Structure formats: structure tokens, C-alpha cells
Amino acid sequence: MQLSREDLLQAYRRMKTIRDFEELLHDEIQTGEIAGFTHLYAGQEAVAVGVCEHLSDDDKIVSTHRGHGHCLAKGCDVTGMMKEIWGSREGLCKGKGGSMHIADTDKGMLGANGIVGAGAPIAVGAAMAAKLDGKDESGRLKVSIAFSGDGACNQGTTFEAMNMAVVTKVPAIFVFENNHYSEHTGFEYAVGTQQDIASRAEAFGMKVWRADGTDFSAVHDTMSEVLEYVRAGNGPAAVEFDTERFYGHFEGDPQRYRGKGELDRLRAERDCIKKFRETVTEAKLLEGSDLDTVDAEVAKTIEEAVAAARAADRPTPEDVLADVYIDY
């Protein structure tokens, strides 16, 4: 499916925003200014954006510990996120959650998650709600998407969620981002169905798709088909995207499990943003200068977000007690 110029620019802007956001965090974390555990999404941008470009605020996603990309792709506010990661009380979650718990339910973003495998069941619940809400005038259901890693696909919760989605025939989509590592362990070791996660979903009775997660248009096109199928009320589906993470599992990971020259090779051959630029300029869909303009705008957005995060109000000790309950 050929996207319009505007759509391509928007997708590029989103991917680039994620990349710059993460690269900035990578640098800032070295200075010790940012607290806590941070898992960067850089390298996987085409998946989050290729999926979420199809969604409206009414569609839900449930994310993982590596959630910044999903949040940004789903429309969470860049500055609100930056403030959250800085631990400000002006942050998207008032400094309570930090990197691993960013959420914005108004945007249909039901939370990053610190517990590997916790997301898929929640996404099934959201899909049940979507089924209850029924189809819109054009006969389409809202959907709910569970992002899971190759590591999370080994949790029983993920299996339970897949089976439950099938038997309840809800509009859930299990998006598996196979970046070949769960922490320091290789996917070939930890996933028994060699080289393949989608076949598990298939075994649960779902229709599945597979695509190169570093190729934006492959992700986007695949998701068009998946969404058409799920929105029509055919029940859940699953997709496995082959993708790459460019940084360590968490910031501070020495990555000794990587092969020699692996990161250089990934950056050269598997960079979804670089590939996007090459494809759209070669096909003359966009000019390099169009993309450079976006780059400059994104750089400015990120710069401003950081300045705002640095200047934002810090939480006070009394804030600890707020928001445990609505009423107590």
C-alpha cells in the first residue's frame, strides 16, 4: 500500500522522534542525572510506528519495559514523557512511574510494564472491552495490541492470554518483537520453537503473520492486513517482527554477549530509519531535504523537551501519598 507524502513524513517524524529521544537518554544517563532502570527502544522504531500509525486513540496498546517507542508512537506527549523520566511531578505519571511505567490511557496507551509477560493478559481484557463496545458505523471493531518480546513469549501469562483470546474471539493482536535477546540470553537458546515465535500463536489457533521489523513499509503493510482481519471480527491474530535493539538490554549493560562487530553491522544493514530514508528517496517519494527538515524539527523538539524536563517542578514528599486510591 503506497502511503501519501504526508503519511510518510509523519511516520518518519515519529520514528526519528523515538530515535532521538532514546539517543539523548543514552547520553544523559551517563551523567547520572536520570534515575532508575532505562531500557532503550532504538533500533525497533519501525515496529512501534508501523503498528501504531494504523490506530486511533480508541484502540489500545499494552507495552513492555522497553516502552518509550510504543508510547511515542501511540501519541504520548514527548515533553510529558521526558519530564516523567526526569522524575518531575509534571511528568506524564507525576514522577511516580518513571521509564518503566509510562502510561497515558487517554491516548489508548495502557502502560509500559516492569513485569515481563504481564502485558498480554491486560491486552486481552482491553480486547474484551472492545468486543463489548461493538463495531462502529463502518463495521469495524476497536482493537487491542499486546507488544511482547521474544523473552516475554516464554511466560505462561503470554500463553494463557493467547488461548483466552482465541476462545473468546476478541479483537486482540499479539505483536511479538523478536530482537533476538532477552537480557543477555539469545533467542535461539530460550525459545524452543527454533527461530520462530509466530508458530506458537498459530498452535493456539490464531492466524499469524511474519515480517521484517526493520522495514517500515513491510510492518505497515502487514499491519494493514492484520487489522483488516481483526477489526472485521475474525478474532485475534499474531505477528512476529524480526527486529534489532541498538543499545544494551538496559543502560549500563556491557553487552559482552554480542558478536564481534555485531552492532556496527546492525547499524549498517538493519537500521530501520536509514532504510526508510533510502527507500523513500530512491523511489522519489520524498526528497532528502524533506527528511532533513524533519530531522531538524525533531532535534529541536527533543532539545526543548529536555530543557522543560530539567526546569520542571520536582515532586514533594507529600506527593508520595497521593493517588493510591480514588477514595479511602
Binding site for other proteins (CB under 8 A): 35-37, 87-89, 93, 95-98, 100-101, 113-117, 151-152, 154-157, 181-191, 253-254, 256-260, 262, 314-317, 319-321, 324
For residue 310, which amino acid is it?
R
Residue 65 or 68: which CB sits closer to ligand TPP? 65
- Give which of ligand TPP, Mg ion, other proteins, none residue 231 binds (C-beta under 5 to 8 Å, depending on kind): none
Contact set for Mg ion, span 111-150 (CB under 5 A): 149-150
Residue where the block lists cell 520536582: 314
In the bound complex, what is the minimum distance in angstroms from residue 99's beta carbon to Mg ion? 17
Q: Does 235 bind ligand TPP (CB under 6 A)?
A: no
Q: Does 240 bind ligand TPP (CB under 6 A)?
A: no
Q: Write the Ramachandran bin of 180: left for phi over 0, alpha for psi from -120 to 50, otherwise beta.
A: left
In the bound complex, what is the minimum distance in angstroms from residue 262's beta carbon to ligand TPP? 15
* 1/221 Cα distance (integer angstroms): 6
Q: Does 183 bind ligand TPP (CB under 6 A)?
A: yes
* 91/228 Cα distance (integer angstroms): 35
Residue in 182, 214, 243, 301 binding ligand TPP, rule: CB under 6 A: 182
Residue 106 or 189: which CB sits closer to other proteins? 189
- Give which of Mg ion, ligand TPP, other proteins, none residue 66 binds (C-beta under 5 to 8 Å, depending on kind): ligand TPP
In the bound complex, what is the minimum distance in angstroms from residue 66's beta carbon to Mg ion? 8
CA atoms lying within 13 Å on the CB side of residue 263: 10
- Exposed e or buried b for every residue in 223-236, given b needs 16+ CB within 10 A? beebbebbbeeebb
Please return the burial class of 5, using the count of CB atoms within 10 Å of its CB with bins 0-12, 13-18 and 19+: exposed
* 34/21 Cα distance (integer angstroms): 13
For residue 126, which amino acid is it?
A
Distances (CA, A) of 137 to 52, 106, 123, 230: 22, 22, 24, 16
Residue in 80, 151, 213, 248 binding ligand TPP, rule: CB under 6 A: 151
Residue among 251, 242, 118, 258 at smallest CA distance from 184: 258
- Give which of Mg ion, other proteins, ligand TPP, none residue 1 binds (C-beta under 5 to 8 Å, depending on kind): none
Q: CA torsion, points 219, 78, 100, 121, in degrees to nearest 10?
A: -50
Residue in 20, 45, 90, 150 binding ligand TPP, rule: CB under 6 A: 150
In the bound complex, what is the minimum distance in angstroms from residue 148's beta carbon to ligand TPP? 6
In the bound complex, what is the minimum distance in angstroms from residue 317's beta carbon to other proteins? 4
CA 84-90-95 angle, to 5 degrees, is 40
Q: Does 143 bind ligand TPP (CB under 6 A)?
A: no
Q: Does 112 bind ligand TPP (CB under 6 A)?
A: no
Binding piece for Mg ion, criterion CB under 5 A, among 65-73, 114-122, 175-183, 221-229: 175-183
- Please give the residue ranges that form the binding site for ligand TPP (CB under 6 A): 64-66, 114-117, 149-152, 179, 181-183, 249
